Amino acid sequence: EAGVVQSPRYKIIEKKQPVAFWCNPISGHNTLYWYLQNLGQGPELLIRYENEEAVDDSQLPKDRFSAERLKGVDSTLKIQPAELGDSAVYLCASSFSGSGTDTQYFGPGTRLTVL
Amino acid sequence: KQEVTQIPAALSVPEGENLVLNCSFTDSAIYNLQWFRQDPGKGLTSLLLIQSSQREQTSGRLNASLDKSSGRSTLYIAASQPGDSATYLCAVGGSGTYKYIFGTGTRLKVLA
């Protein structure tokens, strides 16, 4: 079974440029999460989707960050414009919320460097 | 607001040693707790999940315990191996939500 797929794995951009990250969750998982992980820290939730609906986006900086999950499968996270402080790893995870275990499966992440 | 702390931040042990990693949390009203492993440049891999009604979970050489009343969980690794070298993160699931609050992790190095 394929795991959570993320692309690109690495991205280097100059500040004020836009950037987008893509995530394909595990087949059948209706819940999708985007996390931000700074160096030496644990992941912090940015947004959680239940199917197409964003049910928790309280931590998403909405002035520059946006996300979408069309058709309740793949998701895209966008930053526009990027700032130096956005350099981090962006992790996508998915789960089947009806399983009763809430185990989240993580992708390998996208490492963003803003110059 | 839930806060999760992991001690120690880093640990270096010789191969074969048994070791304990600690995780503490401030709000005992939790739904569950997960231990994850993260290898450099990789995503997180779930190791063990303990529901709030459980006291411990075991998988191979790993044993995780949960004491909600004291706000603590431990991950016990038996007979450590160099392949166990990684960062170990605990994540606390809030009661009634699917939101996980992560600790900052313990960076483990097992020396051959």
Confidence of residue B81 (pLDDT cuts 50, 70, 90): very high
Q: Give me the mean pLDDT over the B66-84 stretch.
A: 96
Helix (H, G, I), strand (E, B) or coil at B109: strand
Question: Rounded CA gap, B84 and B77, in Å?
Answer: 9
Provide the pLDDT confidence category of residue A1 given band limits of 50, 70 and 90. low
Question: Which H or E run includes A33?
Answer: strand A31-37
Lowest-pLDDT choice from A13-22, B35-44, B63-72: B35-44
Amino acid identity of A100? G
Cis before B8 (ω within 30) = yes
Query: Do A56 and B31 count as a contact with CB atoms less than 8 A apart?
Result: no
Q: Which stretch, A2-6, A11-15, A97-101, has highest mean pLDDT? A: A11-15
- The predicted structure's pLDDT at residue A55: 87
Mean pLDDT of the B65-88 span: 96
User: Which of B49, B99, B105 is opposite residue A42, by nearest beta carbon?
Assistant: B105
Show residues of chain A in contact with B98, CB under 8 Å: 31, 48, 56, 95, 97, 102
Q: What is the mean pLDDT of residues B34-40?
A: 93
Q: Residue B95 pLDDT more than 80?
A: no
Which DSSP state fits A3?
Answer: -
**A48-99 pLDDT, tens digit each:** 998 999 988 888 999 999 999 988 899 999 999 999 999 999 999 998 876 5
pLDDT band at B100 (very low <50, low <70, confident <90, very high): confident
Give me the sign of the Cα torsion angle B15, B91, A42, B7.
negative
Check pLDDT > 60 for residue A101.
Answer: no
> Least CB-CB distance to B49: which of A56, A101, A106?
A101
| Three-state SS at A85 | helix
Query: Mean pLDDT in chain A?
Result: 91
Q: Is the pLDDT of residue B98 over 70?
A: no
Query: Are A47 and A93 within 8 A, CB to CB?
Result: no
Please state, for a pLDDT cut of 90, what percent of chain B lies above it: 79
